[in-house]
Amino acid sequence: MKFLRFVLIVIMLFPFSNVYAEENDKRNKITKNLRCLICQGQSVYDSDSEFANSLKIVVDKKLQEGLSEDQIYEYFKTKYGEWILYDPGLNKNTYILWLLPILIFLIGGAIIYKSFIVKK
């Protein structure tokens, strides 16, 4: 009987701890992508300021409410602006940031192609 109870407890515990770990992973991933606005240059995950700690609680709450990662980012964006995200989306303010590396890569590739490959 005792053994049965033990097995039952293990079975009960196992899936829950799994879910918890998953949620923790997600929370860490989200807080790593949020900028701590008090201690700029640090992510919320790295910071231990009052502001960052509160933000972590809010992320937990939102995850419990069943919001997805993107919805949480959207929520913080409406509260604090695009700046709070470390991974800015593609919009009219950031398109140079996104397209410049590709452009440089293409131009560089063209120069190399012209001067080395065509010459041969």
For 92, phi then psi, to 5°, come to: -65, -20
Counting residues that bind another protein (by CB under 8 A) gives 16
| Under rule CB under 8 A, residue 50 binds another protein | yes
Cβ atoms of 47 and 36 within 8 Å: the answer is yes
By CB under 8 A, name the one of 20, 51, 95, 113 that touches another protein: 51
**Region at 117 (left for phi over 0; alpha for psi -120 to 50; beta for the rest):** alpha
DSSP 118: I
Q: Which residue has the tokens 């001067």?
A: 115
Measured distance CA(101)–CA(108) in Å, rounded: 10
By CB under 8 A, name the one of 53, 71, 93, 94 that touches another protein: 53
| Under rule CB under 8 A, residue 40 binds another protein | yes
| Under rule CB under 8 A, residue 37 binds another protein | yes
Where does this chain touch another protein (CB under 8 A) — which range of 24-32, 36-44, 85-93, 95-103?
A: 36-44
| Under rule CB under 8 A, residue 113 binds another protein | no
